Amino acid sequence: MTAMRSAVTLDVAELTRGQGRRDADRSLALAALSSSLAEAIDDVDNVLDRVARLVASFLGDTAVIRLLDDAGTTLQVAALHDADPDVLTSMDAALRTAPDDLGTLGSYAAALHGGVLLTGPALRATLATFPAESRKPIVALGVRSTFICPMRAAGRVIGTLGLWRRSGTVHSERDQRFAQELADRAALAIENARLVKTLRDEVQERKRNEENLRLTAELLSRADEKRRSLVDHLVSAQEEERRRIAVDVHDDSIQAMAAIGLRLQMLRRRTEDSVLARQISDIEDAVTESIARLRGLLFRLESSSLERLGLYRALTRFTGELFRDGGPRIRVRNHMNADLHGNEASVLYRIAQEALANVQKHAGASAVTVTLSAEVGGIVLAVQDDGVGFDPGDQLARALPGHLGLRAMRERAELSGGWLQIASSAEGGTTIRCWLPMAAPPANDD
């Protein structure tokens, strides 16, 4: 009896020591899994492969990981492993052709809510749902039990971990609990890897977007440079054409008209017919008036004063000449520290000319103010009068093609990358504001 008690005591002690070793081994396995998954956190496929390998090597089973699709209707094989290469090949061929629709995988659907142990008739019933080409290799391998548990992370199920055992005892409750712990740790690692991948993809997408924006900005900058260059050439060509026309008018038309005036004067002095003399005098007056108009045209065409004096002084001179025979009170105000030269000055000068000519012809104003100021990376020209107003939309709509009016003023401004605004009403008063961009406009006076 004493000997029997000693044997039982030794068996219990040995069992206890064996259980302790298994617990220690499982703790080491969990630590190894956590360490391995931490190393592979940036690669979902790598995480799946490591989980399958570690689970299969520790439990001695074929480990199969299935993941739910986004719709939650299929469980697709994502990774599997077995220490025996031949078994791995057979299981891979079998499971890759097995159904993945949850509607036909009753045991897997149930496993999403809690672990399912399949042995005997239950295992055979599950295998019966597989097609023959999938079922035969599994049966031939002598699978005795299958344990399927959910892979849970952040409060949701992302798939299943399946353990297929060919020999030895069926999966014990301790095996099932341990497998569930492995599955949950693996699920968390998979979700973390997915998150890291998503974040990396977002970072890469952001970098691509930033690079695209940089390239777009560079292309826009180049296009803007080309536009500026084309506008500069166009404005220079227009000014050169104006100078050529001015020279032709001065050297040809005005000289010819002046010669006609001298001949008419000589003819009037020689005639003795008083009626004819008066008629000739009227023609002389018409010629003199025509010469004055041509000289006014020359004044509008010339740009030497703009190049020499700058925009502010050229506008001051122009307004003085335009209204020298009487008219509204004129003020030209400059809120910039330096005067403006170059093609931007030419565009603003021509727009101001047209605006002031419209005031002279149509406004009947008593006061006109021309203002130059720096604003939002450019120059603003404003021409304001207190005369008769109008409907800007109607005027723009009725502008004739080729007529240098409000539409032409706006086109000049927009071609140079700026804008033109017209504020007017039938009650009276009109303000025309034009803005042109400049890299470094002269600053406003304080």
Reduced to 3 states, what is the DSSP secondary structure of residue 375?
strand
Give the tokens for residue 357. 């000519």
Q: Please tell me the pTM assigned to this model.
A: 0.47
What is the DSSP code (8-state) at residue 439?
A: S
pLDDT of residue 298: 63
Range 103-142 burial, b when 16+ CB lie within 10 A, else e: eebebbeebbeebbbbeeeebeebbeebeeebbebbeebe
Q: Which residue, 137, 411, 241, 379, is CA-closest to 370? A: 379
The set of long-range contacts for 128-135, using a CB threshold of 8 Å and a minimum separation of 24, is 129/99, 129/104, 129/105, 130/94, 130/98, 130/99, 131/97, 131/98, 131/99, 133/94, 133/97, 134/94, 134/95, 134/97, 134/98, 135/94
pLDDT of residue 15: 37
Helices (H), ranges, 118-172: 120-128, 132-140
Neighbours of 385 (CB within 10 A): 28
Give the tokens for residue 282. 């009227």
161 with 179: CB under 8 angstroms?
A: yes
Give the tokens for residue 445. 């006076």
Cα gap 134→128, rounded to integer Å = 10
Q: pLDDT per position in the chain (446 positions), as tens?
A: 444 444 444 444 443 444 455 555 556 655 666 565 555 566 778 888 888 888 888 777 889 998 988 888 888 898 999 988 888 888 888 887 788 888 777 788 888 888 889 888 888 888 888 888 888 888 888 888 889 989 998 888 999 998 988 877 888 888 888 888 888 888 888 888 888 888 888 888 988 898 888 888 887 777 767 766 666 666 666 666 666 666 666 666 777 777 777 777 777 777 777 778 788 888 878 888 887 777 666 666 666 667 777 888 888 888 887 777 777 888 889 888 777 777 788 888 888 888 888 888 887 888 889 999 888 788 899 998 888 877 766 655 444 443 447 788 888 888 888 899 888 877 778 889 999 887 655 556 54
Cα gap 287→262, rounded to integer Å = 10
292 with 257: CB under 8 angstroms?
A: no
311 with 345: CB under 8 angstroms?
A: yes
387 φ/ψ angles, rounded to the nearest 5 degrees: -90, -160
Reduced to 3 states, what is the DSSP secondary structure of residue 83?
coil
386 with 431: CB under 8 angstroms?
A: no
Range 350-361 burial, b when 16+ CB lie within 10 A, else e: bbbbbbbebbbe
pLDDT of residue 320: 82
Give the tokens for residue 341. 């030269």
pLDDT of residue 16: 46
Which CA distances in Å does 119 have to 94, 124, 136? 19, 8, 17
Q: Which residue, 107, 118, 44, is CA-closest to 79? A: 44
pLDDT of residue 237: 64
Cα gap 425→33, rounded to integer Å = 81
Residue in this structure with the two tokens 């019933």, named with its chain if needed? 125
Beta bridge pairs of residue 165 = 145
